[in-house]
Amino acid sequence: MTKKLILVMILALAVLSFAGVYVESGKVVFTFEVDANQVYLAGNFNNWLPDSLAMENENGIWKISLELQPGEYQYKFVIDGTKWVEDPEAPSYVDDGFGGKNGAFLLIEENGVLVIKAVGEESPGTKIKYEINENREDTIYVDEEGYIIIRYYNPEAEYVMIAGNFNDWDPESLEMYEAGDGWWEAVLELEPGIYEYKFVINGENWIEDPNAFAYVDDGFGGKNSVLAVYEEDSKLIVSAPREEQSEVETASIEIPLGVSVIDGKVYFKVEKKEATKAYLAGTFNNWDPQSIEMKNVNGYWQVSLELNPGKYQYKFVFIINDNQTWQEDPFAPGYVPDGFGGKNGIFELVEQDGSLVILKPEETSSQSSSSLSGNYSFTLTYKYDQDIILKGYGFDNSLNLIFKPSDELEFSLKYSGATIDNAKLEFSWQKLNLMAHYNLPLDLAIEGISSGVFVNYDNKFFVDIGALNDVLPFLLWVRFGDFSVYYGNKYFYGENAIFAGYDFEFSSIDFELFGGYFVESSNFAISINTNSKNWNSEFSYVNNIISLNIDVYGWEIFGNYSMLDSSYEISLSAPLFEIYKIFGGYRHSSLIDKSHIGFGLFEDDYSLRLKIRTEASNIFLDIFGEINF
Amino acid sequence: MKTKILALLFLIVVSLSFAYISPSYSFRFIYTADFSNDYPELVPSYYISTNFWMNASLMGSDFSGSFSTSGVNLDSVELNFSKNNFGLNIYKNRTFGNTNDYLGLYKFDIGSDGMMLKFSNFYFFAYNSLSLNYLKYEGNNKLFIYGLRNSQSDFLVQFTFPLFVNLLFESIYTNYGTFDLEKGVYQLGVVDRNWNWGIKYTFAGSEVSLPDFTNVNTTNRHAINLWYNFSKFGIWGNIKSDEEGLNFKELSEIGINLDFSKFSASISKTGFNEFGLTPDLWGQFNITINYPYNLFGFNGKISYSFGNPAHNTVGTLGEVYYLELLRSFGNLSFFAKFQRIVGVYEIRNTMYAEVKLSGFSNGEVKLTIGNGDFYNVNTFKKIISLEFNTWW
Amino acid sequence: MKKLIFLSIFIFFILFSLSGCMKLLNLSLTPGIYVAGEWNNWIPTESDRMILKDGEYQYVLPVASITFLPGSQGNIGWYKVIYIEAGESKVQSSVPIWYENLLDATVVTIYASPNIMYDGYAVGAGDSEKMLGEWYCAGDFNSWSLAKMSKVGEKFVLTIDKEVNAGDSYYYKIARNTDWKPYEEQFDGKNYNAGYGQDALFIADKAGSSIVVEYDPKYSILRAYVK
């Protein structure tokens, strides 16, 4: 009897696992649990393209949300871009025309809220066809205690299991008992609904019930046995599925993972098997870690709150082996940093047409995106270590943001490390261009002062004025056609300097010449840049350093040599296929020798590079890259 | 040295790219009147603080990411790159990493710098701000972790056998010096497929050397956890010994949770050495009754608990009374909670109240009195604050 | 109506049935100053009385009799000081002892000064464990980056060079390490185990060029002033 009881309890709970498809914040969310590298969603909403809708892996559960109009939808999951599988938890199924099934559901708007219904409840056109078994023996019945008993005759079998949509078709979880004389018996506790099942003989042969009420195509060329459970006068009865079945939503309320609103209450649900207790803390209870205890319902922690419209942040507090662990909701509608490097789940509760709805925080803030662009770069450095192989050595990053609210105005900011590193504000008005730059030298052949105010009139007259304690550094330049003349007052290396530039074309090669004279130190500087269709080069001699940079068909060579201390540097980079590059380099100075070798991926909007470098006897690994947006 | 084209006037080359960014901003202005500081004279003090955040999420062809800035600081960044089976995540001041094991080998609750490399089901985590690197394989019902911490390394093996019930096995072994089974923690369990009931046995060796960031409890050499949870009724028990494998009677605990539709109750008892007639001889125990109510338009919770220790902050026998009120009038909502702890020689009263005006399209105003964290602070904090919160 | 009846019965039940228990257990200690912790089940006896020595109340607690449990870093044990006087009693909030910081010390000396104690705060009593090891201080004045305090006599001191005007206000807190761990030993001038949002507040009473933060571990006094 205890065995029976346990079996019954497991069964009762198995049918309550969470749905594969649900509506959240007006979007349809598909979830699928599978071990895979990448799962895609395909359906009649994207012309069954197998790789256009990539799902995201959140703790082993693949997830995607789509904005869909009300209508009827069919879908399948595509594992690793090749293997098509149906959703084991789909609200309903339809024949896919290839002997299999598609997950299917109807999206209906009820009182302004989207609801998912099983196909077949509302539209008779796609109803599942049941084949009624005319000559059956009565082997299925409900006992006095309300359990459903299914008997099966097979004297040859060593053991028989039952598998069906009530236990996720698990062939190992539900054993049938020997009832004597070759009869086997399964005891199930089932809610009203329509179930499909098969027997599994000796763990390998899947067989339909010869005495089933009805059959349905199993999608593999065979048949599933069908059993319908109805409630009449508060008693359960079993029969074949009835034609006029119009029951709405058999499985009571299913609470999705994350935050949801059901009947005006806000539900929180999360999975954490290893926790012995769980609490909910957030701005609604001032982050008290123990005032809202969550309940364990079938392996999920859940709790409901009555909340007023507003914006709330929250976290879960799990007690794991007597330790308090704070954790964000992996299914939160949005996140904000918690100030400690972690994040809080965030959601906004609004009243729409008299009922509460959860809004995603991002949805309110997309209008400003067009005026914002920029890039982010990072360098993550590890040092080789005997014990732990990679020892964290440093993390440098910088974020460059460019706001362009209108054509006339541009503002850029660069965050580096922990604070604002440099900034630029730019106004354009007809022929006049005004710019304030902070910690950011102008992009000239020779680096000048880093902060100042720059004026450009008609791309002909230019001036940049900086500020030093006791002098006024400035650079003036004038451009006539291809010629330009510069005068810098304490602008380059704190010296006065005169420069001239000339741009010309010769046998379809663009030349840019630039040269000048530093008044105090009597040093010369020169730079020659050439540009052609497939190659370009840059040569310069500035501040006693000679450098040369050549780029031919994507091969890049760079070298420099300092005449002061005889230090030099050389590096080479070569393209590989279309988007990869390998590179290496060597640097020598009187103090230290450095060398590096690396590999990189260069896409239009991002690059990722890996570099191994040596410095004296140390070996470092750099992972660095840049993204543009 | 910069060697770029001379005539270039715009300083930063921004590629007009295929990625997009969606920022969101929030700004908080808080005015606080604090009457609890500057001991020994408690004088009122006034404080204004502001808090500006920008959070942005990025989406590109093969990457996604998010970053946040707080005031003038670049606070935290997360980037995810993926191509085919390969994935790379970069973190700056973010909490990341998980072991997902039953014992809880590593726990990460504050932000770190580092990266996660993924290939198929293999994950490699390298931390820049912690002395830790680990490799994880997570498959169906199996988990392997190999972690490196300075001169020690951790091995974790975990299997789940989903049969008629779930059979669990986990072992964590920390390697340093010579091999010794006492350097490991081992767990065996039989658990219902929905985790509604189960039994787990954990053995913790005496030479275990785990980091500070762990959830593994090594203070009990032997521990058996039992639980049975069903909708209206739950019972649990922990049979535990100390580090030497002794004192089961003193450390073991048992509890019952009851859920009547109108109210819920829970009873727990720790240690079975002592027992007498009056509560002072009951040893460690707790009885709690929770009653959610809805009366005169207010709803909330009343709870009463009687136990030893009475509360996180009070070590002795005592009672805790707790009342919560919640009511809203349109866009105006009112929330208050009260707590009274009666210990053997200390009585602590505290309360917290909040009035919130919402209903602005992207903002709210909140007036609060007191400190709401009753778990850690049991006295009323004389502090009033007015908070303006906007986001766009 | 049914609800109302139920509620009143419930409240009645709470107030009159079990609350009676507490009255039976009233402490019958003679006035004095005591230390409570796990070793005496948090109910002090005559043997837990602090002794007046060199003008201060002291109590020598053997490390072996403290119950240490794993904390956020290392192991933590707790105690509190109770001052009982006719008509008035002051009970200190719990104070942590960090086992790993004791190194090879076999006793912890607890100090108290009843006249500066404040009911419900940790102020007015401290111990020798707090005098060992390092203390760090962070606040609005140094962008919340924990800076090591230097030991001057029995106190820990941090001087921050900063131009201050009268009325400027700063939140701050002290901790044991640059990562705030063990969290249990964070102190906000009122209570130990001061979590997020629990900070000390300093308001400059005059203008000056530096702020001095001073922590006296003997009596758990944290204060700041302008120099």
Dihedrals φ, ψ of A371, to 5°? Answer: -90, 0
pLDDT digit string, tens, across residues A300-353: 888 888 887 778 889 998 888 777 788 888 888 877 777 666 778 888 888 777
Name the nearest CA neighbour of A252 among A15, A9, A87.
A15
Q: Which chains contact C through at least 3 pairs of Cβ atoms less than 8 Å apart?
A: A, B
In this structure, the number of other CB atoms found within 10 A of the CB of residue C115 comes to 9
How confident is residue B372, by pLDDT bands cut at 50, 70 and 90?
confident
Residue C8 lies in a domain: no
Residue C17 lies in a domain: no
Q: Which residues, in sequence order, are bridge partners of residue A484?
A: A479, A501
Whether A258-364 and A2-126 are alike in CATH topology: the answer is: yes
Asked whether the predicted pLDDT for residue A98 surpasses 70, the reply is: no
Output the pLDDT for position A78.
86
Q: For residue C149, what are the domain limits?
A: 136-226
Q: What is the mean pLDDT of residues A554-578?
A: 90
Residue C160 lies in a domain: yes
Do strands A71-79 and A53-54 pair parallel, antiparallel, or not at all (unpaired)?
Answer: unpaired
Output the pLDDT for position B15.
39
How confident is residue A247, by pLDDT bands cut at 50, 70 and 90?
very low
The pair of three-digit structure tokens given for residue A589, joined into one six-digit string: 């100075």
Residues B177 and B200: their CA atoms lie apart, in Å, by: 30
Query: Which A residues, 312 through 341, put their C-beta within 8 Å of a C-beta on chain C?
Result: 323, 340
A43 vs B21, more confident: A43
Output the pLDDT for position C13.
58
Which residue pairs from C7-16 have beta carbons closer than 8 angstroms and sit at least 24 positions apart in sequence? C7/B291, C7/B293, C7/B295, C7/B302, C10/B263, C10/B289, C10/B291, C10/B302, C11/B302, C14/B289, C14/B302, C14/B304, C14/B321
CB C183 within 8 A of CB C76: no
CB A42 within 8 A of CB A32: no
Query: Which residues in chain B are contacts of C145 at CB distance < 8 A?
Result: none
pLDDT digit string, tens, across residues C207-223: 889 999 999 999 999 98
Residues C116 and C123: their CA atoms lie apart, in Å, by: 7
**Cα distances (Å, whole numbers) of residue B318 to A144, B314, B347:** 50, 8, 9
Asked whether the predicted pLDDT for residue B16 surpasses 50, the reply is: no
**Nearest chain A Cα to C180, which residue?**
A340
Phi-psi region of A530 (alpha: psi -120 to 50; beta: other; left: phi over 0): beta
On whether any CB of chain A is under 8 Å from the CB of B11, the answer is yes
Residue with tokens 């994507």: A554
Query: Which residues in chain C are contacts of B34 at CB distance < 8 A?
Result: 201
Asked whether the predicted pLDDT for residue A182 surpasses 50, the reply is: yes
Residue C18 lies in a domain: no
Asked whether the predicted pLDDT for residue C111 surpasses 90, the reply is: yes
Query: Which residues in chain B are contacts of C43 at CB distance < 8 A?
Result: 316, 344-345
Domain boundaries, given as residue ranges, for chain A: 2-126, 131-239, 258-364
Q: Where are the beta strands (DSSP E) in B140-213?
A: 142-149, 152-162, 166-175, 184-191, 197-204
**Nearest chain A Cα to B216, which residue?**
A321
The answer to whether the CB atoms of C169 and B318 lie below 8 A apart is no
- Between A13, A415, A538, which is nearest B69 by CB? A415
How confident is residue A363, by pLDDT bands cut at 50, 70 and 90?
very low
Q: For residue A323, give how far its alpha carbon lies from the nearest alpha carbon of chain C (Å).
A: 9
Residue C16 lies in a domain: no
Q: Kindly state whether residues C112 and C186 are assigned to the same domain.
A: no
**Nearest chain B Cα to C28, which residue?**
B345
Q: Which residues, in sequence order, are bridge partners of residue A595?
A: A586, A614
Residue C179 lies in a domain: yes
Residue C185 lies in a domain: yes
How confident is residue A572, by pLDDT bands cut at 50, 70 and 90?
very high
Query: Which B residues, 343 through 362, put their C-beta within 8 Å of a C-beta on chain A?
Result: 352, 354, 356, 358-359, 362
**Cα distances (Å, whole numbers) of residue A256 to A30, A266, A267, A278, A448:** 11, 11, 9, 17, 60
pLDDT digit string, tens, across residues A410-436: 788 888 765 667 788 888 888 888 888
Q: Kindly state whether residues C115 and C58 are assigned to the same domain.
A: yes
Q: What is the mean pLDDT of residues A528-543?
A: 88
Q: Return mean pLDDT, chain A.
A: 81
Output the pLDDT for position C95.
93
The answer to whether the CB atoms of C91 and B293 lie below 8 A apart is no
In three-state secondary structure terms, B62 is coil
- Quote helix, strand, coil % in chain B, to nearest 5: 5, 60, 40
Residues B378 and A332: their CA atoms lie apart, in Å, by: 31
Q: Kindly state whether residues C165 and C194 are assigned to the same domain.
A: yes
Interface of C with A (CB under 8 A): 70, 196
Output the pLDDT for position C126.
93
- In the sheet that holds A21-24, the strands lie side by side as A21-24, A27-33, A61-66, A56-58
Number of domains observed in the structure of chain C: 2
Least-confidence region, from A339-343, A499-503, C170-174:
A339-343
Which of C73, C105, C127 lies at the terminal end of a domain, its last residue?
C127
Percent of chain A at pLDDT exceeding 70: 89
Interface size between A and B, measured as CB pairs under 8 A: 330
C200: domain CATH number is 2.60.40.10
The answer to whether the CB atoms of B375 and A291 lie below 8 A apart is yes
Least-confidence region, from A123-127, B164-168, B290-294, C142-146:
A123-127
Percent of chain C at pLDDT exceeding 90: 38
Which of C73, C100, C127 lies at the terminal end of a domain, its last residue?
C127
Q: Kindly state whether residues C37 and C122 are assigned to the same domain.
A: yes
Provide the CATH topology of domain A258-364.
Immunoglobulin-like (2.60.40)
The amino acid occupying position A302 is: Q
In this structure, the number of other CB atoms found within 10 A of the CB of residue C23 comes to 8
Least-confidence region, from A499-513, B35-49, B255-269:
B35-49
Q: What is the mean pLDDT of residues C168-196?
A: 87
Output the CATH code of domain A2-126.
Answer: 2.60.40.10
Query: Which residues in chain C are contacts of A323 at CB distance < 8 A?
Result: 70
CATH 2.60.40.10 assigned to domain A131-239? The reply is yes
Displacement of CA B378 from its chain's centroid (Å): 21
Which of C107, C127, C147 lies at the terminal end of a domain, its last residue?
C127
C-alpha radius of gyration, chain C, whole number: 21
- Between A288, A321, A540, which is nearest B104 by CB? A321
Residues, chain A: 629
Q: What is the mean pLDDT of residues A494-510?
A: 88
Asked whether the predicted pLDDT for residue A14 surpasses 70, the reply is: no
**Nearest chain B Cα to A420, which residue?**
B72
Q: What is the mean pLDDT of residues A97-104?
A: 75
Interface residue of C91, C95, C141, C199 to substitute, partner B, most B CBs within 10 Å = C91
Output the pLDDT for position A370.
54
ipTM of the complex model? 0.77
Residues A409 and A406: their CA atoms lie apart, in Å, by: 5
Asked whether the predicted pLDDT for residue B4 surpasses 70, the reply is: no
Residue C42 lies in a domain: yes
Helix or strand (DSSP H, E) at A9:
helix A2-14
In three-state secondary structure terms, A369 is helix
Q: Kindly state whether residues C152 and C97 are assigned to the same domain.
A: no
| Most confidently modeled range among A63-77, A351-365, B106-120, C144-158 | C144-158
Q: Kindly state whether residues C39 and C102 are assigned to the same domain.
A: yes
